[in-house]
Structure 1
């Protein structure tokens, strides 16, 4: 990007990118500790810091993440991986030792704030990593292997994995991706829908008007996804629309081929069961009974 930034921090934030190829080079312990400490200074509700970070450097553990959790191979090649978890166990033990009432795993409010705090900490670390010449990438597929992660890392009740970050020195720092700007994202005072043509144009600009070919594999996959979601009539109409335009657009590619709509909702019940297995009983939707005063 060729912009006049007001300072180096602005340049860093505008030009950050997800790095997926790392040099075979260790991160010095003092450098790693410095960027982790930057994360630990992030904003956090009530200054409680309800998170834990598991540092992963052993090759065997990295291989388990790839093999057992079906994560990308870059995880095995990254010098360091950090698993960010909500951690109410540590704080619960502290509260018990201090004879304080504690119900965080029974409260959606505590879960909601802890989730925010955990991700804010992770983002601080990613920004700090960029600042010292490292690269980073978020691995979101943590959501597909909660049970495996619980076993691999011996996660007790009250400790719940949120996201994995891979860190290392980039082979070549990638160019930043295009992003939607203020016109698409910021709403003045109240939410207002953009004119649909403007909305489509802004997304087309973001993705450089990219189009995808009409090969049989793509068309068959999209038809299957659309059929599962809206039935055969909807799927036939969608396919006819694609064939009429002569290409697959980015939205169709995202939700018909990549983040498939018929797959995205699979596992909702498993997620509820997983939260319960991790000790987060608020998901049952029961308010904690308040004892009557005597």
Structure 2
């Protein structure tokens, strides 16, 4: 094979030999342009002079260019995936519940995408033992608001989605095929059915956030399950367990305080945290909580605290609230808001309703 001599015609080959591939910077677009402008003539050189050695170098360079482009594409895809993951994590961290909706309706195509994402959520056994009731009727929304502890924003939300445990659909399908439906479910199954509905609801909330919509999970849908079931014409073995109010935000909202993983996560076994550490984390979490005491609050909180923990404990709690001039979250939610059962179902009512709906499998061992 004759030696390769430098000349005007083979100067690009000489440059390639002087600058091996590993020495060429591939990180910037300018480098890429330099590579193409310098070596592209090699692709046509064999046509001009069909020399075996020249052809070998030219085709080697073609392979190099193809490999280089493949690597660049893979790097770009990896970078893109990484950015998507980071954006999703930031979205999860910055999401906040929306209770102030605008009058702007939700586009039907957007809503359909949210529902498609929701039903793709994982479920126990893949059975998807839940159904979603979409409520947009103004009168029904107002009724739902009253049944859910009179939360007015529910009536103003463009869409309310009621997630229900649904064994009725499975039974119909099984019986139509003369196969055995899940009629002997136990407590474990009952809890998993509720979790499946909740997971689907949370999945929808995150999809809504990605679409730029606001959402809030409503657990109070269970406070008047029987009336909700009547309102939505639910058959037996269908039980409302959670609701999502959905719409466009009027304002951005603020992210509520959260405990850090150092408080929430335990290694291998449950670990008792130092009480000073817990108190510090609690104060940090509720640093923006600003409910002031008044006679109505203090009277109700005092009654509930005395009923459950005795007079001395109630007196100490009242002293703490007045001294701090601050109704703490525990006292507000557990001493005032949730114990108010006026017009709501009692625990006995719930048990009776479960029996009426033929949802008594939780009693089985």
Same fold (TM over 0.5): yes
Aligned to 1:119: 198
2:112 counterpart (24, 28, 33): 33
CA contact (8 A) 1:71 1:141 kept: no
CA distance in 2, matches of 1:23, 1:218: 31
Residue 165 in structure 1 maps to residue 165 in structure 2: no
Deviation digits for residues 180-227 of structure 1 (CA, Å, limit 9, x no counterpart): 110110001100011011001101000117465454333322221112
Larger Rg computed on CA atoms: 2
CA distance in 2, matches of 1:54, 1:223: 40
Deviation digits for residues 151-194 of structure 1 (CA, Å, limit 9, x no counterpart): 11111111100111111111112121111110110001100011
CA contact (8 A) 2:136 2:160 kept: yes
Instruction: Calculate the TM-score normalised by the size of structure 2.
Output: 0.71
Unaligned stretches of 5+ in structure 2? Answer: 1-82
Aligned to 1:107: 186
Deviation digits for residues 32-55 of structure 1 (CA, Å, limit 9, x no counterpart): 000110011111111111110001
Give the superposed CA RMSD: 2.5
Shift of 1:70: 4.4
CA contact (8 A) 2:292 2:327 kept: yes
Shift of 1:5: 9.8
Cα 1:30–1:213 shift into 2, 3 Å = closer
Higher RCO (CA-CA < 8 Å; seq separation 6+):
1
CA distance in 2, matches of 1:207, 1:220: 23
Shift of 1:233: 3.8
1:7 alignment partner, SS class? helix
2:310 alignment partner, SS class? helix
Instruction: Calculate the TM-score normalised by the size of structure 1.
Output: 0.87
CA distance in 2, matches of 1:25, 1:6: 30
Aligned to 1:77: 156
Aligned to 2:301: 222
Shift of 1:123: 0.7
Q: Which shows bigger deviation, 93-102 or 252-261?
A: 252-261
Q: Which shows bigger deviation, 204-213 or 81-90?
A: 204-213
Residue 18 in structure 1 maps to residue 97 in structure 2: yes
Q: Which shows bigger deviation, 53-62 or 246-255?
A: 246-255
How many residues in Structure 1 have an aligned counterpart in Structure 2? 282
CA contact (8 A) 2:298 2:318 kept: yes
Aligned to 2:121: 42
Cα 1:212–1:154 shift into 2, 3 Å = closer
